[in-house]
């Protein structure tokens, strides 16, 4: 960790564009930090942690409100997983819904649809969309994975957020609050006690509950496909805002692509499809306090989606340029790692990401690794899917 302009920054090398963004955020924030997987985002960098006494930032929470990870440990035998991995991944691919705008093949009922927050104007018209999409995974870097840990135990891991509900909710509040367009702009801040701020907080928590419900449902569905029991769960948002006490201060801590890591708090952090993922927990240290008890949410990109996959005009269905990563390169990597892959575009190839162990090592004074998870099966939306709801 180093301090740059009084902002604690983890990672090597440092993404200068993300650094400029966190410095811009710091002008109106009470505390800031930048995690080791940081890279440029919309107004607030991915990997940015920004805390305010009196404000909430829709720009900081981002478009995919409540995006996060869930991992569950099962009693499924490792040898049976290896023997049947192709069939299991085929069943996951057929039964679950991946991709843009997809509706769930199974209608999912949930008590959250009785929440009074649906009466708020910003989300009033979104309930039908939310019902239809609950339990869908989406596109981009969202996935359903199967892992083996260091004891050869089988885990299910998922990563996605609040889908169309979150994206449309964020868009409404950004417009209502007068947010500036673009990536290199000041983040929108709302007074927590204002009417708009209170409405946003209620809608943010609604979208967060929705994201949790979706990840819970998908993990149970995968366990049902495998005919296995869930023995342990680790579940966390990494695009959200929490009211927390840090020192003597009550702060609204906005984490955009950052995992809460208070002492003893467990988190699931995913690497790329050809790298390990981990179950970790926060520890108490001076550096942990400096990080606002936060850590990485993934490995962090080293190559943009356009650079990796090329440029495409989605509305016209035309590809204008080729990317640096071919499908053969991606498939060779995952085959070498023994991963059974379904879907995925080259913009999610392991070539596009840092190695997770290196990134985690930057935070070694704030976390401990409980389990290393080696991917055996990976399912993501295909290369032809464009998804505006991804984080």
On whether residue 108 sits in a domain, the answer given is yes
Quote the pTM value: 0.94
On whether residue 387 sits in a domain, the answer given is no
Residues 124-183: tens digit of each pLDDT: 999 999 999 999 999 989 999 999 999 999 999 999 999 999 999 999 999 999 999 999
On whether residue 119 sits in a domain, the answer given is yes
**Matching residue, tokens 């240290």:** 285
On whether residue 66 sits in a domain, the answer given is yes
On whether residue 335 sits in a domain, the answer given is no
Q: Note whether 219 and 72 are within 8 A (CB).
A: yes
On whether residue 312 sits in a domain, the answer given is no
Q: How many CB atoms lie within 10 A of CB 247?
A: 8
On whether residue 308 sits in a domain, the answer given is no
Question: What is the residue range of 42's domain?
Answer: 2-303+340-382
Across 275-293, b (16+ Cβ under 10 Å) vs e yields bbbbbbbbbeeebbebbbb
Number of folded domains in the chain?
Answer: 1
- Rounded distance, CA 300 to CA 284, Å? 24
Residues 172-221: tens digit of each pLDDT: 999 999 999 999 999 999 999 999 999 999 999 999 999 999 999 999 99
- Rounded distance, CA 344 to CA 338, Å? 16
- Across the chain, mean pLDDT equals 94
Give the pLDDT score at 88. 99
- Rounded distance, CA 255 to CA 34, Å? 10
Q: Is the pLDDT of residue 27 over 60?
A: yes
Residues ≥6 apart with Cβ < 8 Å to 388: 63, 100, 167
- Rounded distance, CA 269 to CA 279, Å? 6
- Rounded distance, CA 255 to CA 237, Å? 9
Q: Give me the sign of the Cα torsion angle 340, 342, 346, 351.
A: negative
Residues 73-84: tens digit of each pLDDT: 999 999 999 999
What is the share, in percent, of the chain residues with pLDDT greater than 90?
89
Residues 39-87: tens digit of each pLDDT: 999 999 999 999 999 999 999 999 999 999 999 999 999 999 999 999 9
On whether residue 310 sits in a domain, the answer given is no
Give the domain CATH number at 173.
3.90.1860.10
């Amino acid at each position: 960790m180093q301090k740059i302009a009084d902002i604690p920054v983890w990672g090597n090398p440092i993404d200068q564009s993300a650094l400029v963004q966190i410095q811009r955020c710091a002008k109106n924030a009470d505390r800031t930090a930048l995690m080791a997987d940081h890279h440029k985002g919309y107004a607030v960098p991915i990997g940015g942690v920004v805390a305010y006494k009196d404000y909430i930032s829709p720009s900081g929470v981002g478009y995919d409100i409540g995006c996060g990870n869930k991992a569950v440990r099962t009693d499924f035998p490792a040898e049976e997983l290896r023997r049947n991995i192709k069939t299991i991944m085929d069943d996951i691919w057929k039964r679950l819904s991946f991709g843009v705008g997809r509706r769930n093949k199974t209608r999912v009922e949930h008590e959250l649809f009785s929440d009074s927050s649906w009466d708020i104007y910003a989300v009033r018209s979104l309930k039908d969309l939310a019902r239809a999409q609950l339990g869908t995974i989406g596109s981009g870097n969202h996935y359903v994975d199967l892992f083996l840990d260091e004891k050869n135990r089988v885990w299910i891991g998922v990563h996605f957020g609040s889908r169309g509900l979150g994206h449309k909710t964020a868009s409404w509040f950004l417009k209502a609050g007068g947010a500036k367009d673009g990536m290199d702009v000041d983040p929108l801040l709302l007074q927590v006690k204002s009417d708009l701020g209170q409405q946003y907080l209620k809608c943010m928590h609604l979208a967060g509950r929705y994201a949790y419900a979706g990840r819970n449902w998908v993990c149970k569905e995968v366990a049902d496909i495998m005919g296995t029991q869930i023995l342990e769960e680790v579940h966390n948002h990494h695009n959200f805002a929490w009211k927390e006490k840090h020192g003597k201060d009550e702060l609204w801590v906005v984490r955009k692509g950052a995992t809460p890591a208070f002492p003893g708090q467990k988190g699931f952090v995913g690497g790329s499809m050809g790298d390990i993922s981990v179950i970790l927990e926060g520890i108490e240290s001076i550096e942990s306090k400096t990080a606002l008890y936060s850590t990485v949410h993934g490995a962090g990109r080293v190559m943009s989606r356009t650079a990796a996959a090329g440029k495409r005009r989605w509305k016209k269905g035309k590809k204008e340029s080729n990317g640096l990563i071919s499908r053969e390169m991606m498939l060779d990597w995952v085959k070498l790692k023994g991963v059974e892959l379904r879907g995925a575009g080259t913009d999610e190839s392991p070539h596009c990401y840092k190695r997770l162990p290196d990134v985690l090592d930057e935070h070694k004074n704030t976390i401990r690794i409980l389990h290393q998870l080696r991917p055996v099966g990976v399912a993501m939306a295909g290369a032809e899917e464009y998804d505006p709801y991804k984080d």
